[in-house]
């Protein structure tokens, strides 16, 4: 059995799974957010994994996307599909502006610098009330259901849109990773000075990656807004709930690999929900505490991510298949 067959099988299984869930239910909502977070972590993986720049400010692009499409819909009745493209353009622009002063920074300095940008955007969204609705947040209006208006009665179409988004972002990631840009990024990751010497414009390559990552993240912000229906500055520009979470998903799954963010999201989002379901009726805060303990245990167990488990499994399966 070839590797592409495995990929096709996984996609078919993922496409069938939503059909087995209650279309107005709870697990389909969890699945939708799992797919969305997987796509977000994959977008982050471009800059965080390939370029080795641990961004903690991706909520800035995400929120820009959510706000742009929702404001265009509210003020001008423009379909979120078009709003998503506008949001992506603004997200890319923001990534470009942010990247110019920060791309020369490395390691912790870069992470700290980017952390501030999500916070700056949060403050702007809080204060610019006429446009953003201020701290009260924005509700996505319910328009008559149609694909063109990006409005559906049930969650199922949202689930498939999230799945398609994840596939697209993953394909983009793979194309870049395997292409010339991937080699340049790998060279920069291994040794920036050596990469410069052999003629790679390191700043330019990192800048390109950052912009692509920002565009994708902003477009996913629109998808998120359409599913969540209500959001406020604290939700979409949150360091903990967005920026750190997408980084955590990618790192827990296996940073720099195409499967890592998917594995990470498949673990983090459902487990957090399950812990909430099982323990939140008990002592206050217990579910979050248990979730935190599980995360620590998992990271201690597999410091290089779930991908190592996955690879070991595949290796064992294929060796048995050969026999």
**What gap in Å lies between CA 132 and CA 166, rounded to an integer?**
28
**Least distance from another protein to the Cβ atom of residue 135, Å:** 5
Long-range contacts of 292-301 (CB under 8 A, 24+ apart): 295/248, 295/252, 295/268, 298/252, 298/267, 299/252
Residues ≥6 apart with Cβ < 8 Å to 128: 134
- Measuring CA to CA, how many Å separate 62 from each of 6, 79, 149, 156? 32, 18, 21, 23
Binding status of residue 234 toward another protein by CB under 8 A: yes
Least distance (Å) between residue 288 CB and another protein: 4
Q: Does the footprint of another protein cover residue 29 (CB under 8 A)?
A: yes
Does 146 sit near another protein (CB under 8 A)?
Answer: no
Chain position carrying tokens 């399966």: 317
Q: Quick check: 26 binds another protein (CB under 8 A)? A: yes
Indicate the pairing of strand 138-139 with strand 230-231: antiparallel
Is 195 a binding residue for another protein by CB under 8 A? The answer is: no
Instruction: Count Cβ neighbours within 10 Å for each residue of 91-102 and write b for 16 or more, e otherwise.
Output: bbbbbeebbeeb
**Interaction of residue 100 with another protein, rule CB under 8 A:** no
Token output for 147 = 């694909």
- For another protein, the binding residue among 280, 295, 302, 309 (CB under 8 A) is 280
Examine residue 81 and tell whether it contacts another protein (CB under 8 A): no
Site for another protein in 298-317 (CB under 8 A): 307, 311, 314-315, 317
Q: What angle do CA 170, 174, 177 make, to 5 degrees?
A: 135
For the chain, helix (H) and strand (E) counts, in that order, are 15, 2
- Residue 2 in contact with another protein, rule: CB under 8 A: yes
Query: CA angle 220-221-226, nearest 5°?
Result: 95
Q: For another protein, which residue of 211, 257, 268, 306 counts as binding (CB under 8 A)?
A: 257
Q: What is the DSSP letter of 84?
A: H
180 binds another protein (CB under 8 A): no
Candidates 203, 276, 294, 295; binder of another protein (CB under 8 A) is: 276
Smallest gap, in angstroms, from Cβ of residue 235 to another protein? 5
Q: Shortest distance, CB of residue 113 to another protein, whole angstroms?
A: 20
Smallest distance, Å, CB 17 to another protein?
Answer: 6
Residue 21 makes contact with another protein by CB under 8 A? yes
**CA-wise closest residue to 80 among 157, 133, 172:** 157
Output the six-digit token pair for 61.
């692009």
Residues 126-145 interacting with another protein (rule: CB under 8 A) = 126-127, 129, 134-137, 139
Question: Which C-beta is closer to another protein: that of 89 or that of 248?
Answer: 248
**Residue ranges in contact with another protein by CB under 8 A:** 1-3, 5-6, 9, 12-13, 16-17, 20-22, 24-27, 29-30, 33, 123, 126-127, 129, 134-137, 139, 228-232, 234-235, 238, 241, 256-257, 273, 276-277, 280-281, 284-285, 287-288, 307, 311, 314-315, 317-318, 320-322
């Amino acid at each position: 059995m070839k590797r592409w067959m495995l990929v096709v099988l996984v996609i078919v299984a993922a496409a069938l799974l939503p059909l087995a869930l209650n279309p107005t239910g709870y697990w389909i909502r969890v699945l939708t957010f799992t797919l969305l977070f997987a796509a977000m972590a994959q977008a982050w993986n471009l800059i965080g994994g390939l370029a080795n720049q641990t961004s903690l400010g991706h909520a800035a692009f995400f929120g820009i996307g959510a706000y742009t499409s929702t404001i265009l819909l509210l003020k001008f009745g423009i379909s979120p599909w078009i709003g998503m493209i506008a949001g992506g353009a603004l997200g890319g622009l923001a990534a470009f502006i942010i990247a110019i002063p920060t791309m020369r920074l490395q390691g912790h300095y870069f992470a700290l610098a980017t952390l501030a940008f999500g916070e700056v955007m949060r403050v702007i969204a809080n204060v610019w009330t006429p446009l953003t609705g201020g701290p009260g947040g924005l509700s996505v209006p319910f328009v008559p259901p149609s694909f063109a208006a990006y409005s559906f009665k049930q969650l199922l179409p949202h689930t498939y849109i999230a799945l398609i988004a994840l596939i697209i972002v993953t394909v983009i990631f793979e194309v870049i990773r395997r292409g010339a840009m991937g080699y340049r990024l790998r060279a920069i990751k291994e040794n920036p000075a050596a990469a410069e010497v052999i003629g790679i414009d390191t700043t330019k390559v990192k800048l390109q990656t950052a912009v692509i990552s920002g565009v994708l993240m902003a477009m996913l912000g629109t998808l998120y807004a359409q599913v969540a229906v209500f959001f406020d500055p604290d939700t979409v520009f949150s360091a903990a709930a967005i920026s750190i979470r997408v980084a955590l998903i990618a790192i827990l799954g296996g940073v720099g690999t195409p499967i890592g963010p998917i594995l990470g999201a498949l673990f983090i989002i459902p487990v957090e929900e399950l812990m909430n379901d099982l323990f939140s009726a008990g002592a206050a805060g217990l579910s979050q505490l248990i979730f935190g303990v599980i995360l620590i245990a998992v990271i201690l167990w597999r410091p290089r991510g779930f991908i190592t488990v996955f690879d070991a499994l595949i290796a064992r399966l294929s060796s048995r298949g050969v026999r």
